[in-house]
Amino acid sequence: MNGAVAAAFDDGFTASRLFSQGFSYTYDDVIFLPHYIDFPADAVDLSTRLSRNHPLSIPCVASPMDTVSETSMAVAMASLGGAAIIHCNTIPARQAAIVRSAKSRCIPFASDPSFFAPSDFVSSAADFGSASFAIVTESGSSKSKPVGLISRSDWEALADEDYPVSKYMRQTPASIPSNYDFEQVAAFLAGEGLKMASLVGVDGEIIDLVSAEDVVRIRSFPKLGVPSLSPDGKFLVGAAIGTREEDKERLTHLVKAGVDVVVVDSSQGNSKYQMDMIKHAKNTYPSLDIIGGNVVTMAQAQNLIKVGVDGIRVGMGSGSICTTQEVCAVGRGQATAVYKVSSFANDYDVPVIADGGISYSGHIVKALVLGASTVMMGSFLAGSHEAPGIYEYQDGRLVKKYRGMGSLEAMTKGSDARYLGDTLKLKVAQGVVATVADKGSILKFIPYTMQAVKQGLQDLGASSLPIAHDLLRTDVLQLEVRTGAAQVEGGVHGLSSYEKKAF
């Protein structure tokens, strides 16, 4: 059995035929026909590229959104072999500090502690953020000398919470160099019989606190794969910028912080503003990989490739929180967009990121097999332990906030200039504010998701992404459009009740 034999039957459609009929197909609209298996699912290699010069061992990228990608997401994603793109809905100095913080450690977790001076007061539990401890330094900045730490539970137990932190702070715990990896941290805590230690950078700055509890938690997750490292041996971390004049200064901050790859973040990437920014970035930092987007057509992609992008982000209006297609009547079904743009970008060896619309592992298989090198996810990751923000109860369920970067709330938080400032005087949202259910740690659910993706590729007879792309482009891969009834049939149906548990 080989491809040529399979293609001789009039079974399904080839991708080139299916995607040239004038329909905008979503992932759910299409289904692959199975091919021939001669290898186990575990033999499927998911290694890929984020951009021209950055390999990844898994095809997962966390979206540059302020409810998705900050330090914790960046270190966990890099530990898994994927990557996160730090959002730009904050001042450049803070965005650069997040990049620096992620790149300054070698462990898969971060608690993002707050900093206080001894004379400061904690006004509410929210001052701790999502961390259980906060660090006390002489001036209250992360850069000044550490003098102690305070715990959230100690503060909550105070009879009068209106004490300065100096009244109830504990001693600074023993320190560990920030370049210790997970096993070294675990060995140090166990060897010294410690519950906690502080992670300290070369310049003496406390970066974080690590605990024996963290060690136990991480050990309960699947074994980590090959991490994403930059040539300097540190975690690979990306960051987003906009297309305004002031984003040039943001770029300088990010480069100084050691950013490895920059995403120029626009909903419509085929603009003079984006071309000018890409040219500026490539001229100023020739060795820095720049990812352009978003685009959904070959013509848009061609313009980005002309100015030298190292990766293309595909998706307009396909995101779970996106209202762009409703508001602006512009966009494309994500399956069609990924197939079309990848077919074009492949000729120039530019990797494609399929951005938005991923709800489960089958969508990831579809994005990758239709030509993408990676998938970028927002809602899929936003309910995780690693996403910024704290869990809250909603109708008895734990949820985290997830919001579109074009929602009114996000726009008025940080990206004012881009939306409301110079060109648009009237605010019109292109996104919503939402919540997503608690999903636990990405260190657990991403490995299971990748196992499901391997099973999908195995069914298609593709033991790697390049082989999957080859099957697509040599017309061996067959697919069909699913009718509404076929989509119902393909889901769980006709049961009075059921429990859906994937792993």
Ligand X SMILES: O=c1[nH]c(=O)c2[nH+]cn([C@@H]3O[C@H](COP(=O)(O)O)[C@@H](O)[C@H]3O)c2[nH]1
* Stretch of residues binding ligand NAI (CB under 6 A), selected from 32-40, 207-215, 317-325, 437-445: 317-325
Give long-range contacts, CB 8 A cutoff, 24+ apart: 415-422: 415/88, 415/89, 415/242, 417/244, 417/246, 418/242, 418/244
Minimum distance from residue 64 beta carbon to ligand X (Å): 7
The Cβ of residue 67 has, within 10 Å, a number of other Cβ atoms equal to 28
H or E segment and range at residue 379: helix 379-382
| Residue of 105, 250, 332, 418 marked catalytic | 418
The reply to whether 308 sits in an annotated binding site is no
Residues forming beta bridges with residue 31, ordered by sequence position: 480
Contacts with K ion, 271-310, as mask; x by CB under 5 A: ----------------------------------------
CA dist 111 and 210 (Å) reads 8
Show Cβ contacts of residue 284 under 8 Å, excluding neighbours closer than 6 positions: 251
Site for ligand X in 385-414 (CB under 6 A): 404-407
Q: Helix, strand, or coil here: 241?
A: strand
SS3 of 23-50: the string is: CCCCHHHEEECCCCCCCCHHHCECCEEE
Q: Which two tokens stand for residue 27?
A: 């992932």
CA dist 242 and 248 (Å) reads 9
* Stretch of residues binding ligand NAI (CB under 6 A), selected from 75-83, 419-427, 458-466, 489-497: 419-427
Q: Is 148 in the site for ligand X (CB under 6 A)?
A: no
The CB-nearest residue to K ion is 322
Nearest to ligand X of 379, 441 (CB atom): 379
The Cβ of residue 132 has, within 10 Å, a number of other Cβ atoms equal to 15
Nearest to ligand X of 7, 433 (CB atom): 433
* Stretch of residues binding ligand NAI (CB under 6 A), selected from 3-11, 304-312, 414-422, 433-441: 414-422
Applying CB under 6 A, what is the total number of residues that bind ligand X?
A: 26
The reply to whether 320 sits in an annotated binding site is yes
418 in catalytic set: yes
Contacts with ligand NAI, 267-306, as mask; x by CB under 6 A: xx--x-x--------------------x------------
Minimum distance from residue 363 beta carbon to ligand NAI (Å): 16
Residue appearing with tokens 């989509």 = 487
Contacts with ligand X, 54-73, as mask; x by CB under 6 A: ---------x-x--------
- Choose the one of ligand NAI, ligand X, K ion, none that binds residue 82, judging by a C-beta under 5 to 8 angstroms depending on kind: none
Nearest to ligand X of 84, 134 (CB atom): 84
Q: Which two tokens stand for residue 34?
A: 């199975």
| Residue of 105, 322, 328, 332 marked catalytic | 322
Instruction: Give residue 93's identity as a one-letter amino acid code.
Output: A
What DSSP letter does each residue of 255-279 carry, written as one string? Answer: HHTT--EEEE--SS--SHHHHHHHH
Q: Which two tokens stand for residue 378?
A: 């927002």
- Choose the one of ligand X, K ion, ligand NAI, none that binds residue 357, judging by a C-beta under 5 to 8 angstroms depending on kind: ligand X
By C-alpha distance, which of 241, 245, 207, 261 is closest to 97? 207
250 in catalytic set: no
Angle (CA) 438 442 444, round 5°: 100
Asked whether the beta carbons of 261 and 78 are under 8 A apart, the reply is no
Contacts with ligand NAI, 347-386, as mask; x by CB under 6 A: ---------x------------------------------
Site for ligand NAI in 379-408 (CB under 6 A): 405-406
CA dist 202 and 182 (Å) reads 18
Find the binder of K ion among 73, 176, 236, 322 (CB under 5 A): 322
Instruction: Give residue 312's identity as a one-letter amino acid code.
Output: I
Q: Helix, strand, or coil here: 193?
A: coil
Contacts with ligand X, 319-338, as mask; x by CB under 6 A: xxxxxx--------------
* Stretch of residues binding ligand NAI (CB under 6 A), selected from 2-10, 133-141, 309-317, 340-348: 309-317
Rg of the Cα atoms in the chain: 24
By C-alpha distance, which of 99, 249, 302, 106 is closest to 185? 106
Mode of pairing for the β-strands spanning 30-32 and 479-481: antiparallel
The reply to whether 328 sits in an annotated binding site is no
Residue ranges of the annotated binding site for NAD(+) are 265-267, 315-317
Query: Annotated binding site for K(+): which residue ranges?
Result: 317, 319, 322
Task: Point out the residues that are catalytic.
Answer: 322, 418
Tell me the binding residues for IMP.
Answer: 320, 355-357, 378-379, 402-406, 430
Footprint of ligand NAI (CB under 6 A): 242-244, 265-268, 271, 273, 294, 315-317, 319, 322, 324, 356, 405-406, 418-419, 422-423, 430
Task: Kindly list the residues in this chain that would bind K ion in the complex (CB under 5 A).
Answer: 322
